[in-house]
Amino acid sequence: MNMKTVLRALFLKSLMLLIFPAGIFAQEIMVDQIVGIVGDNIILQSDIENQYYQMQAQGYTGNARQMKCEIFEDLLVQRLFLNQAMVDSIEVTPAEVENELNRRLQIFINQIGSQERLEEYYNKSLLEIKETFREVIRDQLLTQRMQAELSNDISVVPSEVRDYYKRLPADSIPEIPEQYEIRQIVKNPRISEEAIFEVKERLLELRERIVQGENFSTLAILYSEDPGTAMKGGELGFTSRGSLVKEFADVAFSLKQNQVSQIVETEFGYHIIQLIERRGEQVNVRHILMKPRASEEASQKAIAVLDSLASRIRMDSIPFETAARFLSDDEDTRLSGGIMVNQSTGTTRFTLEEFDRPTRQIIQNLKPGEVSDPFEATDETGRKIYKIIQITRIIPAHRANLDLDYSLIQNMALSEKKSRLLNQWVRDRIAETYIRIDPSFRDCDFTIKGWISESQ
């Protein structure tokens, strides 16, 4: 299978932009120009140069001209899908863009260690980083949605998976890095009524100041504990009801323009909300989020409970899975005996890099069957938690095979099948779409033929 496929163009380099970012403006483009047009979408010289510099910073080597030609063709394919998305009126909401942007940035924050280190890496504030990538993410989501429209009905049966694996050249069978399966027991330190009362009092005070004429955005920048929106004055952007947690959405959609809500409690903490504008079934709101903190005494109590459990498990007086099932505070893993599920793959396996930083540091010093000491981490809402973990299995690095990695190979077979369909769609669509390529790129040896017509 030729690896220069549409799927490679659409996924590998596009996902690389934010999951493995590098200094996007490490080099300046002195003179920018349009080098490609696909329907109503343009490609700038800077689009190519910025991706090229990122690839260099990430260690990609090779002939510079060839790399830029490949990037250019990747962008041509993406613009072709974007053009069709516009024709078919396919949309993504600002909330979807924001959520995906936050998700990808959080991945890198976890890998690099902190938001501060990310900002230092880019020499930009988090808000500036988001502004840099927001349009890129929007285009990627539109491209993926257009692909899904074309290929969602494609599936593979087990015989196709086996045949696909048999056909794979040895050097195309992926190397699977060492993977871990782990259990966890989580304790949430109890938050006192006094802490909750203090947060509510502070929010009521801020609400009163806003009602008396102070600027909501300014107070959000100063006091909101939502890192994704605080620097934007608490503004979420236009968002559908389904993209918000229910308690927040119910209030946001009930407000009148510029009205400020009473205190709203969600799983993330406590909010006050101001409606900026409503457009049909979407709202744009600002909010200020505050989170009550557990006391040091409550934190120490949670640690003590976990420490006692760890000792009992080590002495074989209670199995880890039983303790997790009855004593863990984490609803997602409690009923399965504490087994963690990788949300990216749907399996119970994680590479070391896929764990959050605190868990990763503990795992590196833990052997299978051992139980860790209690340690601090955060849950998906950003709340401080404590947990103990146990490695139940380490899968050594290996070449993918049908016994251990059926799901992975099944996805590879499905991707190839979708790739064939999408490649054919691209070839057919090229002939029906206005495409203009600057003379400076007409010497490229494109994988897909037909980009350059005789009239150019």
Q: What is the mean pLDDT of the chain?
A: 87
CA gap 335, 191 in Å, rounded: 24
The answer to whether 118 and 105 are in contact (CB under 8 A) is yes
Percent of all residues in the chain with a pLDDT value above 90, rounded to a whole number: 62
pLDDT at 233: 93
| Model confidence, pTM | 0.61
Which has more confidence, 197 or 25? Answer: 197
pLDDT band, very low/low/confident/very high, at 1 (cuts 50, 70, 90): very low
Q: Which domains does the chain have, with CATH numbers?
A: 6-160+403-441 (1.10.4030.10), 178-190+294-396 (3.10.50.40), 193-290 (3.10.50.40)
Average pLDDT value for residue range 320-347: 92
Which has more confidence, 7 or 322? Answer: 322
pLDDT tens per residue across span 273-312: 999 999 888 889 999 999 999 999 999 999 999 999 999 9
pLDDT tens per residue across span 48-107: 988 888 787 667 778 899 999 999 999 999 999 999 998 889 988 887 888 788 778 877
251 Cβ neighbours under 8 A, 6+ residues apart: 261, 264, 273
CA gap 186, 171 in Å, rounded: 42
CA gap 179, 376 in Å, rounded: 23
Which residue's structure tokens are 């039983």? 322
Average pLDDT value for residue range 156-166: 96
Average pLDDT value for residue range 136-146: 90
CA gap 322, 371 in Å, rounded: 14
Which has more confidence, 237 or 393? Answer: 393
pLDDT tens per residue across span 235-283: 988 887 877 889 999 999 999 999 999 999 998 999 999 999 998 888 8
pLDDT at 7: 36
pLDDT tens per residue across span 110-130: 777 777 888 888 788 877 888
pLDDT tens per residue across span 163-173: 999 999 999 99
